[in-house]
Structure 1
Amino acid sequence: MPCKPNAPAVGTVLFTPGRWDEVVVSMENLPTLPPDQTYRLWLRLQDGSLILCGEFIPDDQGRVFAALTPPQQPTPDNRAASVFITVESQRAPAEPQGSPVITTEL
């Protein structure tokens, strides 16, 4: 089923509290990106540091369902504060270059 034009992006990020070895992203109504760009999911920790959880590209209907494996996990004394998604060049370094397009506090 096609997504509604101009509808806001909505979705879910699933994880086990205290464990970030796998993060599942399910979204719809994401705008299609140029071929050289990707969406990236980030975890912001309480101390302000960031962890890149992974990147994903929605299908041509604006939907994505992806299991991401972050390369590192927060330490028990530095908990997750928020997650956010940016649009980045596929060649961008592992730090956000673009502004968050979706953000949620944890």
Structure 2
Amino acid sequence: MPRNWTLQRWLVAALFAAFSALHAHAAVEVNQANEAELNSILGIGPGLSEKILNERARGPFKDWQDLMQRVKGIRARTASKFSDGGLTVQGSPFQTKAPTGLEDATSAP
């Protein structure tokens, strides 16, 4: 086999791997996603995607808290997992709330 042929095969494989990696981490916006896109998120199956779509038909989700309140079965732990899988609400990933009442360790008393 000519050396150029091997290089071409390697480049095609590298491009395919890069494209696959980008696609795997692509954001899925809950307010725009169809059933197949929702099902592509690890942990979201047909039953949960149906619940999400039914609630979304009543109006878009304002934020993660709104999604968790309106869709039974989504709580902080699952929201974090779905966010890690690429799900967003209004373009934002899930963020756990920082504990309140804690002062910054660097601030003076």
| TM-score clears 0.5 | no
Query: Who wins on radius of gyration, i.e. which is larger?
Result: 2
Higher strand share: 1
If the TM-score is normalised by the length of the shorter chain, which range does it land in?
under 0.3
Higher helix share: 2
